[in-house]
Each structure stands twice: as structure tokens, then as C-alpha cells.
Amino acid sequence: MGKKAAGWLFIGLCSLIIFCPETGTASIWNIKAFLNTCPQNDPAYNQIRSDFTIRRNGVVVGNIPCSEPTSAMNIAQYTDELIVLQGLRTIYYMDSGQAGHLPWTPGTLYQWMKSKIKGFNIDDAATFNSCCGTIQGGLYVTLIHSDDFNRDFDRAWKGIEGNIGLYAHEVRHLDNFPHANCNGNLNDLNYNPAALTTFGTQWWLEKSWLNGNINVGYSCLSSIERQDMANWHLSNANSTFRSRFCNTQPPILLFPANPGGPCLASHLFLPLILKNP
């Protein structure tokens, strides 16, 4: 049966992306299923490839092979280039249409990154990730080549979310946020929401994924998987990134009542593009 809403006819239908016709935005409702599909089959693929150039050792990367489900791909075929694409398409959708949720930019993470860099260069000779190198007049985040273990880890959300945080961290350096040497490591001086540093952006993203301010749909997974994902984000925020400040640290986060936000699949309707009479 159809359901009338906002002058449009909707039919309940399972999909990996929920489209809202009122705002013209789309959201991921199941990150596990989403990452098991290929970027080339994503309607935003051409837009993403246009917005961000992917290079390998300075050379523009063309077609990136992929087969579904990605979880079944041979690890040799699950390449660094494909991992970058999986991260970018997640960034494209994860906070689409939101505003004011990231203290360092008025819009989405995708919009901010697009305004700052030309793309990503996977450098086989690099020993650490960095921002930014200049290639043909464009700024590129330099990424190291990942071994089989890490590429395998990057098939799923825990790996991809870490990469997204890394991308935000590196791009944030362009806003004049260098590291400070303290506690035997390169860290950031202070946590300040009004001027979030590089590790501050990573902590903020972990908090947003934990409480569902950025909802990627891990709340639609099994209760065990949902608990595991939430604990992962909580640990990253409270342990991994909170420790990366020399002086003032972010607040300690508590386990939220509704980790990851609501399961959007329970409200899933896709438009048939038929106007009600």
C-alpha cells in the first residue's frame, strides 16, 4: 500500500540509501551492506570522481576494478584506490544535508574537503600520511600504501571510519593547525571546539558517529554488532584521541542511550516520482 506524504506517493522498499525528496538529500541506512557494494554502482560515482582526483605515485588513476560483494574479493584486488573511493562515497552521504554539526565548517565534511584539496595521492615511497603535496597546481593528501592486513581491515566500517578521520585530520592542517611535540609524540596543544585541531576533528567525528549526530546506519545492524560499533567509537574518542592533547583534553564521553542514532530503515520510503492528484 502507498503512503501519502508531502504531496508524493511513497512505497516501503528496502535500499542501501534513503532519499528525502523534501531536502534532496540521501542517507546511508546500513553501513555494513553499503560497504559491501562497489563504488562504480553508486549513483554518486561520477560526481565523486569529478570532485576528487585519485593518483598513484603522481599518476592519475583511471578505472578501479571492484566486484560484489566486496567482502568476498581477493585481498590483492581490494586496492588502496578502491579503499579511498569507499571512504569518499561514505563521506558523500553520511551527513548530506546537515549544517552546523561540524564546528570547523558550516556545511558537510564532503563540501569542506572538496573546497580544500584536489584529491589523494597514494605514494608507494611514503612512510607516513601527510598533507599536502602539490601536483599540477592542486593540493593532494599523501597516503601510504597499506599492507594486506590493513586493506582487509578497511573492507568494513571500523577501517573506513578510521580513514575518514585521517582524511579530515590531514586536511585540517591546511587551516594552520600544526602539531605540538609533547608527551613523546606529535600531538595537539589544546582541545577547543571553537578552534578544533587535527586530532580534535577526529575526536569530534568519533563522538558524532557514537551518538548518531552523523548516522551511518550501524544502528540497523544486530544488537551485538551495534554494541560493538558503539564501543569502538567510544574507545576511539576516550582513549585514542583524547590522549592526543598536551594540555586541555576533550570531555570523557559516556555510552549513549541510542548509539548510532535511530535505525532509518524502520522509516524507509522511496519516492516513485508520481505526484498525488
Q: Would the pLDDT of 276 be above 90?
A: no
For residue 118, what pLDDT is reported? 99
150 falls in which pLDDT band (50, 70, 90)?
Answer: very high
272 falls in which pLDDT band (50, 70, 90)?
Answer: very low
16 falls in which pLDDT band (50, 70, 90)?
Answer: low
Question: How does pLDDT run across 56-102, given as a tens digit for each residue?
Answer: 999 999 999 999 999 999 999 999 999 999 999 999 999 999 999 99
**Other C-beta atoms lying within 10 Å of the C-beta of residue 51:** 17
Query: Which CA distances in Å does 155 have to 56, 67, 133, 266?
Result: 20, 13, 27, 26
Q: Would the pLDDT of 10 be above 60?
A: no
Q: What are phi and psi of 122, to 5 degrees?
A: -85, 115
For residue 267, what pLDDT is reported? 54
Q: Would the pLDDT of 141 be above 50?
A: yes
- Its sign, for the CA torsion 169, 173, 178, 181, is positive
Mean of per-residue pLDDT scores for the chain: 90
| Alpha helices, DSSP H, located in 184-250 | 198-211, 223-235
Question: How does pLDDT run across 170-203, given as a tens digit for each residue?
Answer: 999 999 999 999 999 999 999 999 999 999 999 9
Alpha carbon distance 69, 35 (integer Å): 9
Angle made by CA atoms 143, 144, 146, in degrees to the nearest 5: 120
Q: Which of 2-11, 12-21, 43-52 has the lowest mean pLDDT?
A: 2-11
Contact 28, 263 (CB under 8 A): no
For residue 179, what pLDDT is reported? 98
Greater pLDDT, 254 or 1: 254
Alpha carbon distance 237, 133 (integer Å): 29
The model's pTM is 0.90
For residue 275, what pLDDT is reported? 32
Taking residues 2-8, report their average pLDDT.
Answer: 33
Contact 137, 53 (CB under 8 A): no
Question: How does pLDDT run across 113-124, given as a tens digit for each residue?
Answer: 999 999 999 999
For residue 220, what pLDDT is reported? 95
Q: What percent of the chain has pLDDT over 90?
A: 85
What residue has cell string 578505472?
Answer: 63
Question: How does pLDDT run across 21-67, given as a tens digit for each residue?
Answer: 444 567 899 999 999 999 999 999 999 999 999 999 999 999 999 99
Q: Would the pLDDT of 6 be above 50?
A: no
277 falls in which pLDDT band (50, 70, 90)?
Answer: very low
Q: Break the chain down into helix, strand, coil percent, rounded to 5.
A: 40, 20, 40
Taking residues 135-161, report their average pLDDT.
Answer: 99
**What single string gives the DSSP state of each residue in 15-41?**
-SEEEETTTTEEEES-HHHHTTS-GGG
User: Domain count of the chain?
Assistant: 1
- Domain range holding 224? 3-275
